[in-house]
Structure 1
Amino acid sequence: MTNILTTVDQRTKLVGENRLELLLFRINSTQLFAINVFKVKEVVKLPALNALPGCHPHICGVANIRGMSIPVIDLRAAIGFKPVPPAEDANMIITEYNRSVQGFLVGKVEHIINMTWSDILPPPKTAGRHNYLTAITRIEYQGQSQLVSIIDVEKVLAEIIHYDVTLSEGVLDEDLLQQMHGRKILIVDDSSTARRQVRDTLSPLGIEIIEASDGLQALQLLQQWRDQGKKVSEELLMMITDAEMPEMDGYRLTYEVRSDNAMADLFITLNTSLSGSFNHAMVEKVGCDRFISKFQPDLLVDIVQQRVRQLL
């Protein structure tokens, strides 16, 4: 298992090239599931778990990994399957999302595949609003074509961890409320949960939210405005984009915007569950104006207010 992730640090070079690598695993015998390798810290055989009385029912215990207590989420139960006792091949995928570390109890971990974001598609609209998938793809695996379901981890976590959009005292500049009212912000994120968190934070300030579920959809909207003779930076106060999305990631989206003279001056904030110094380096490389590690409503509002002040 250790060999699967020994080169994770080298894999980060794929980000920014509209490429990604997926860690494939199973939570039942028939379906393949995946999450992005870049969010995986480690994969280990399921260790002994300590009970955590009073916790959410999908948290099956706490693991002690090298002195760190990590809550372990039963991913099978969390996405709507009937819980079953862990099998002999059970593993724990340790991830870092939204500045928190957690483990996911899964079955057999298969291996890592290298793909482009253009091969990753949104789940079909007929799947409804309550599914736990952020994307799907099809791969050739073990001699046959197989569908891979990419888990919307942010939705899973949001149903277990309460995300409070209440602003801390003193964050909101009351004198700017009138200036913010009616301003438009484009939110680009494949997770409906992440879009809702941003919308619920900013809409009460009078800001009009426009949503896109992937980078390509956002780029096409901006190009449409450009072709209509609209100045994109006057239409939008800013664009807030996730990094990882089907069809086109946020890094590529930013690059395409910056490469088009008609929209190059659009203020862009990268808002992602990926954290660490790597993202700050990518922000500088592709030309984003700011970076926020999800989910920080105070910082989100502060950046919006700073942008409004720049335009006064």
Structure 2
Amino acid sequence: MAGVMDSVNQRTQLVGQNRLELLLFRLAGKQLYGINVFKVKEVLQCPKLTILPRLNPVVRGVAHIRGGTLPIIDLNRATGGPGLEDISTAFVIITEYNYRVQGFLVRSVERIVNMNWSEIHPPPRGTGREHYLTAVTRVDDQMVEIIDVEKILAEVVPMEEGITAGIIDEQTQAEAVSRRVLVVDDSLIARKQVTRCLEEVGVEVIALNDGKQALNYLKDMAERGEDVTKELLLMVSDIEMPEMDGYTLTAEVRNDPRLSGLHIMLHTSLSGVFNQAMVKKVGANDFLAKFRPDELANRVIDRLHALRGDVAE
């Protein structure tokens, strides 16, 4: 498995092709789950865990790995099931989200599959653990559930979601009232976080679930004769989304003359230098790692000032 993790350079070629690679794993039962390989740093047999007082119940302990101490989260317990019983035979998937590194305890790790985002679909209502799912797909006629990791992390390790006092002034709020921002994210918790932040700035928010929905929304605006670049202050888009990812959405917007002037900020838990390079490759204007409310607010304020003429576009 470690050898597979070394293929980052090869995986970057997937960008702009609406493709991804999923690491498949199982929890307590036969159900298959998937996680984007870009989030995975390492997969290893569960190491010895140290139990600390007052840990969240879904955290089975902490592990000392590569000179650091990481919380190990039992994914089965985090999604409402019982904790994994025999962790001596379990595996830990070391991941990085929003510049935080943690391990997810799983019963077994299967393999990596290369897929198209068009094969990844929003979860049907009332199916499985929909409350903790962002998407579903099929691999070899088996249903694969993709867990909303951002929701789990928000519950286990809550982060500050408010904007620091003094960042937003009355003039900014007055200017923001007439502005709209399109937010695109498949994670319900992420949409709520971004929406609350932007509404605190003062803008109106239109929130959609994936890139395909967003592209159709923008094209419908253009079909109605609306000037998208004037109607929308900017679009804030996640990268990982079912149906169409943020990279492909950006490329599609840039390829449509009616939409090409839209200011696009990619906002993702996929942190790292790789994403900075890919943002330029697909033509986005900006990139911001989740979730930093002060920084997000400042970027929107900068955009307002740019249109006011205080700074250059």
Q: Please state which band the TM-score falls in when normalised by the shorter chain.
A: over 0.9
Secondary structure (helix, strand or coil) at the match of 1:118 reads helix
Residue 302 of structure 2 corresponds to residue 306 of structure 1: yes
C-alpha deviation, 1:174, in angstroms: 3.2
Residues 117/89 of structure 1: CA separation in 2 closer, same or farther (3 Å cut) = same
Distance 1:277 1:214 in 2: 24
- The Cα offsets for residues 74-104 of structure 1, whole Å up to 9 and x where unpaired, read as 1000011122323553000000001100000
CA distance in 2, matches of 1:10, 1:156: 30
1:223 alignment partner, one of 219, 222, 226: 219
Equivalences, count? 308
Listed one character per residue, the Cα deviations across residues 250-295 of structure 1 (whole Å, up to 9, x for unaligned) are 0000001111111111010000001111111111111111100000
Match of 1:156 among 135, 152, 158: 152
Question: What residue is the counterpart of 1:195 in the other structure?
Answer: 191
Distance 1:138 1:44 in 2: 25
- The change in CA–CA distance for 1:257 and 1:129 in structure 2 (over 3 A counts) is farther
The structure 2 residue matched to 1:291, chosen from 287, 290, 300, is: 287
Instruction: Give the TM-score, by structure 1 length.
Output: 0.95
SS in 2 for 1:246: coil
Distance between the aligned counterparts of 2:215 and 2:227, measured in 1? 14
Unmatched runs of 5 consecutive residues or more in structure 1 = none
* Structure 1 contact 12–38 (Cα < 8 Å) conserved: no
Residue 29 of structure 2 is aligned to residue 29 of structure 1: yes
Deviation larger for 12-21 or 148-157: 12-21
Which amino acid letter does the alignment assign opposite residue 200 of structure 1? R
| Correspondence for 1:174 | 170
Cα distance in 2 between the residues matched to 1:29 and 1:35 = 17
Kept after mapping to 1: 8 A contact 2:251/2:283: yes
Range 161-170 or range 126-135, more displaced: 126-135
Cα 1:43/1:133, change in 2 over 3 Å: same
CA contact (8 A) 1:4 1:111 kept: no
Deviation at 1:6, TM superposition (A): 3.3
Q: Which amino acid aligns with 1:13?
A: Q
> Which residue does the alignment assign to 1:183?
179
1:99 matched to 2:111? The reply is: no
Q: Distance in 1 between matches of 2:260 and 2:15?
A: 21
Alpha-carbon separation, structure 1, partners of 2:220 and 2:29: 45
- Aligned-pair CA distance for 1:168: 2.2
Offset, 1:127:
4.2
Q: Is 1:165 aligned to 2:165, yes or no? A: no
Q: Give the unaligned 5+ runs of structure 2.
A: 309-313
Runs of 4+ aligned structure 1 residues displaced above 6 Å come to none
Alignment partners' CA distance in 1, 2:128 and 2:176: 33
Question: In 1, are the aligned partners of 2:79 and 2:129 still within 8 Å (CA)?
Answer: no
Structure 1 residue 42 corresponds to structure 2 residue 38: no
Structure 2 CA distance for partners of 1:88 and 1:69, relative to 1, 3 Å: closer
Paired amino acid for 1:271 = H
Alpha-carbon separation, structure 2, partners of 1:3 and 1:248: 28
Change beyond 3 A, Cα 1:277–1:4: closer
Q: Give distance in 1, aligned partners of 2:23 and 2:89.
A: 16
Q: Mean Cα displacement is larger for which, 80-89 or 221-230?
A: 80-89
Q: Which residue of 2 aligns with 1:121?
A: 121
Query: What RMSD over aligned residues (CA atoms) do the two structures have, in Å?
Result: 1.5
CA gap of 1:7–1:90, structure 2 versus 1, over 3 A, is same
TM-score, reference length from structure 2? 0.95
Counterpart of 1:221, as a letter, is Y
3-state SS, counterpart of residue 3 of structure 2: helix
Give the counterpart of 1:213 among 196, 209, 213: 209
Q: Distance in 2 between matches of 1:9 and 1:156?
A: 29
* Letter of the 1:118 counterpart: S
Secondary structure of residue in 2 paired with 1:122: coil
SS at match of 2:252: helix
Question: SS where residue 191 of structure 2 aligns?
Answer: helix
Quick one: distance in 2 between partners of 1:42 and 1:57?
24
Structure 1 equivalent of residue 246 of structure 2: 250
CA distance in 2, matches of 1:293, 1:94: 19
Identity of aligned residues (%): 51
